[in-house]
Amino acid sequence: MKIIILGAGQVGATLAENLASEANDITVVDTDRFRLRALQDRLDIRTIHGNASYPDILKQAGGIDADMLIAVTNSDEINMVACQISHALFRTPTKIARVRSPAYDGDDDGKTNPLFGGKTAFNIDQIIRPEQLVTEAIFQHQIRKFLERHGDAHLTTINGVPGLDTLYGTQRLPTHAGGDGFFYALLVKSEPTNNGVSA
């Protein structure tokens, strides 16, 4: 598979290492010549020095016949624009972008974000948010630990309630979005109802 990775930082370098070991044809694009040289010295990959959202750089990287573009630079905007250009000029089948800023999140109504997908939006097949994945993993770990200590319980989340973190069983947990950057999870011991089913 021919894969272009935009960004030679920690995420891009790790992707290049893992994907190159699977006999893929990997090209990494970055503006940092030192990072590119370090990657090329230890991996069987191709590197291109330049701005990842420039059409001529994407063409040099093999955009014309790439199977996948993975945009993981440290700039959300470069990642989004590179995916759009890759779609518009080369019809790259799969485009993945790291978008870290909550400013690009969809509405709070749970609907799909209108910025991504569709005819009038950025054509990105998959959005990745490493920070969100880490936060979710920490949250799941905390829930498991609570359940180990307290047995059968259920979870209620309440956003933006001042002073809620002083209540028993409540945890103030970080999130990438929201007013103060946190949400509140109230862990409540389940009580059996009159028919023996937990509430």
In the sheet that holds 68-71, the strands lie side by side as 46-49, 25-30, 2-6, 68-71, 94-98, 126-128
Tokens at 18, concatenated = 């893992």
Whether residue 185 sits in one domain with residue 153: yes
Rounded CA-CA distance 192/149 in Å is 18
Would you state the pLDDT for residue 43?
95
Question: Is 195 among the domain residues?
Answer: no
10-residue averages of pLDDT along the chain (199 residues):
96 92 91 96 96 97 96 95 95 93 66 61 83 65 63 50 40 46 47 44
Question: Is 197 among the domain residues?
Answer: no
Last residue of a domain, one of 106, 128, 150: 128
Question: Is 118 among the domain residues?
Answer: yes
Would you state the pLDDT for residue 188?
46
Rounded CA-CA distance 9/130 in Å is 13
Q: Which of 27, 31, 96 is nearest to 60 (CA)?
A: 27
CATH (domain of 118): 3.40.50.720
Rounded CA-CA distance 183/166 in Å is 14
Q: What is the pTM of this model?
A: 0.67
Q: Up-side HSE of residue 11: CA atoms within 13 Å toward CB?
A: 18
Whether residue 92 sits in one domain with residue 30: yes
Whether residue 123 sits in one domain with residue 135: no
Whether residue 53 sits in one domain with residue 13: yes
> What is the extent of the structural domain holding 66?
2-128
Element (H, E) at 69: strand 68-71
Would you state the pLDDT for residue 173?
47
Rounded CA-CA distance 67/82 in Å is 15
Last residue of a domain, one of 76, 106, 128: 128
Whether residue 100 sits in one domain with residue 75: yes
pLDDT in tens, 126-151: 888 876 666 666 666 666 666 666 55
Whether residue 102 sits in one domain with residue 48: yes
